[in-house]
Amino acid sequence: MTNLIGARIKALREERKLSQDDLARIFGFKDRQTVSAIETGERRVTADELLLAVEKLGAPLDYFTDPFLLVGEGRFSWRQTNVGSGVLGAYERNAGRWIAAFRAIAPQVGRASPLLRRALGLTRHSRFEDAMDAGERFAAEFGLGDVPARRLAEVMERELGILVLMVDAFEGISGAACRLPELDVVLINRHEVAGRRHFDLAHELFHILTWDAMPPEHSEEAQETGGNRVEQLANNFASTVLMPKAVLARYGEWAEFGDDDLIARLNAAADELLVTASALKWRLVALDWLKLARARAIPDAALRNNGHNGREAPKVVPPLLFSKPFMEVIGLAIDEGRVSTRRAAGLLDLTVEDLTGLFVAHGVEPPAEL
């Protein structure tokens, strides 16, 4: 709790553009060293000082004490298209509640995060070929198989300890990576077509595995090509994880297909691999299995909507909300009396009835009190 309150005092101070000296004067401390000790968790905040913070800083008591809030701790990197900062900030605060709840509850029910984090060992000075090599090795070492997209989320959660949440998000928000001192999280908009969801997942995985070496921007444009160097490295890694060279080689000599056959093969292969046909096209260019000029000549309309022709988007059947490991933790917390059913439902923006249904859908035994 000491670290929690200190981190939130620091976050509010920075939000209000106050210095540690300013805060020392507000609290009546002799110098800023006491403020520094509070913010780092070295010194406890007394009850009177906490009430003073509520009064002088104009924040409710829950802001400082509620463990199911994420304030001043998590760093996010969002993939979005034309989403305003206000909308993005509001959604980040809401998503922070789910992440904070999991962070607080999981260790209490025996689901602590891994002690050690994996890292790719790449830097922003790495070559694109290095990122692709890392993608090949990742797919092989974790046995992702002939359709890597199918097992990627499971590997991230079960073997890397990364919390993966399928969420309902505002239009234009594709997903995000979130780094906490003790937890890594990836959020994916479950209403996007499968190919985009999987690319976002692999892209955010790259950011999680390289966060310390090259922290991503808070917000980036959701695209399969382009962007700054870190985003280009992430795209090369993501496309390779989802489409390893050996898997693509099964489809024959891509450059030998005629134009119509090439488009048909791109669409069919994309559907089989659960990727977008556009991502597949640019992956072939990166391998030099398809010339750049020919790739650019392929009409975008022919490759839209995850490999489906025509102007009508295919019906998206979204994956279940959140994830099975997440729901297991919530269920255990309710069973052990660590959180009430109503509070759990409120945290997840669900009714109690919908919460029960989500447990069942994920194959998780609903808590006894439900």
Is 9 domain-assigned? yes
pLDDT tens per residue, range 187-225: 999 999 999 999 999 999 999 999 999 999 999 887 777
Q: Contact 204/160 with Cβ under 8 angstroms? A: no
Q: What integer pLDDT is reported at residue 353 of this predicted model?
A: 95
pLDDT tens per residue, range 220-254: 887 777 778 999 999 999 999 999 999 999 998 99
Q: Which residue has the tokens 């980036």?
A: 220
pLDDT tens per residue, range 120-130: 999 999 999 99
Which pLDDT band holds residue 311 (cuts at 50, 70, 90)?
very low
For residue 322, pLDDT beyond 90: yes
Residue that finishes a domain, picked among 65, 88, 116? 65
Residues 6+ apart with CB under 8 A from 213: 119, 121, 122, 123, 124
Is 49 domain-assigned? yes
Is 290 domain-assigned? no
Q: What integer pLDDT is reported at residue 158 of this predicted model?
A: 93
Is 356 domain-assigned? yes
For residue 15, pLDDT beyond 90: no
Which pLDDT band holds residue 1 (cuts at 50, 70, 90)?
low
> CA–CA separation, 120 vs 114, rounded Å?
17
- The percent of residues above 90 in pLDDT, for the chain, comes to 75
pLDDT tens per residue, range 347-365: 999 999 999 999 999 999 9
For residue 47, the domain's CATH number is: 1.10.260.40
For residue 309, pLDDT beyond 80: no
Amino acid at 300: D
How many C-beta atoms lie closer than 10 Å to residue 335's C-beta? 15
Residue that finishes a domain, picked among 35, 65, 95? 65
Is 164 domain-assigned? no
What residues make up the domain containing 18? 2-65
pLDDT tens per residue, range 105-148: 999 999 988 888 999 999 999 999 999 999 999 999 999 999 99
Q: What integer pLDDT is reported at residue 308 of this predicted model?
A: 53
Q: Which two tokens stand for residue 193?
A: 């077509």
Is 112 domain-assigned? no
Is 278 domain-assigned? no
Residue that finishes a domain, picked among 21, 37, 65? 65
> CA–CA separation, 222 vs 146, rounded Å?
26
Q: Contact 201/175 with Cβ under 8 angstroms? A: yes
Is 342 domain-assigned? yes
Total domains, the chain: 2
Most confident of 72-86, 164-178, 312-326: 164-178
Q: What integer pLDDT is reported at residue 155 of this predicted model?
A: 97
**Mean pLDDT score, 43-53:** 90
Bridge pairing between strands 219-221 and 75-80? parallel
Which pLDDT band holds residue 310 (cuts at 50, 70, 90)?
very low
